[in-house]
């Protein structure tokens, strides 16, 4: 008799607890299905961020940042290369490995992302160091701009194969990157794009601009 009572109690408890035990498994399956449908889970998705690691993150922290980007499913990242940080004088050498502060080490920042399988959009911008605050007309530095674009695309495109897609300049409609940089008219910006495009195409075969 006691055995029958125990069996009945067990069956009652099983009926009561079974939905509770099954629910986490179902929820986990549902969560996995929902995650799989998110755009960044698809490696063909253009899901990306603007982190500008070389300019904003100390080089000692870049590995951790890249790991976080991978865990988040980031496929693309826009890396901004400041002209005034890599060249200090007209015709002068280009420095791609930082200024000793732990920032602007573009070799390291871009290389870490490329090796992690993150696609990098290279953004090249702003007028040269030796003209900062002087609002010069682009005619005074347009050749140097072409040299900067050529050097950047050669280094990270043709030579290392880290960047295939490039953006020339950014937000010319704003003060700091527009008329304060000498871009007073639409024609000035068009000229900048023409020279930059020609330099990029001279540096590597069929760059994506």
What is the tens place of the pLDDT at every residue in 44-97?
677 799 999 999 999 999 999 999 999 988 999 999 999 999 999 999 999 999
Which tokens belong to 90?
A: 């007209």
- Give the torsion through C-alpha atoms of 82, 83, 84, 86, to 10 deg: 90
Question: Beta 48-49 vs 163-168: how paired, if at all?
Answer: unpaired
Rounded CA gap, 152 and 162, in Å? Answer: 11
pTM of the model: 0.80
- Residues comprising the chain, all counted: 209
- Report for 35-39, 121-125, 176-180: range of highest mean pLDDT: 121-125
Q: Give residue-wise pLDDT tens across range 142-164.
A: 999 999 999 999 999 999 999 99
Rounded CA gap, 186 and 169, in Å? Answer: 13
Q: Say if residues 148 and 166 touch (Cβ distance below 8 Å).
A: no
**Residue keyed to tokens 């020339």:** 168
Rounded CA gap, 47 and 118, in Å? Answer: 11
């Amino acid at each position: 008799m006691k055995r029958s009572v125990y069996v009945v109690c067990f069956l009652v408890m099983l009926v009561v607890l079974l939905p509770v035990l099954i629910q986490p498994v179902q929820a986990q399956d549902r969560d996995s299905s929902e995650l799989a449908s998110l755009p960044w889970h698809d490696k063909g998705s253009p899901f990306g961020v603007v982190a500008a690691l070389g300019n904003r993150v100390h080089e000692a922290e870049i590995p951790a940042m890249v790991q976080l980007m991978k865990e988040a499913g980031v496929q693309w990242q826009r890396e901004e290369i400041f002209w005034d940080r890599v060249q200090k004088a007209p015709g002068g050498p280009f420095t791609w490995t930082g200024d000793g502060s732990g920032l602007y080490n573009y070799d390291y920042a871009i290389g870490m992302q490329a090796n992690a399988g993150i696609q990098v959009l290279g953004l090249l911008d702003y007028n040269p160091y030796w003209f900062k605050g002087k609002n010069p007309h682009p005619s005074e530095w347009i050749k140097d701009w072409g040299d900067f674009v050529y050097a950047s695309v050669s280094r990270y495109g043709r030579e290392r194969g880290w960047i295939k897609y490039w953006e020339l300049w950014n937000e010319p409609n704003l003060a700091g990157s527009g008329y304060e940089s000498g871009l007073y008219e639409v024609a000035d910006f068009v000229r900048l794009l023409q020279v930059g495009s020609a330099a990029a195409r001279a540096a590597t075969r069929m760059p994506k601009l």
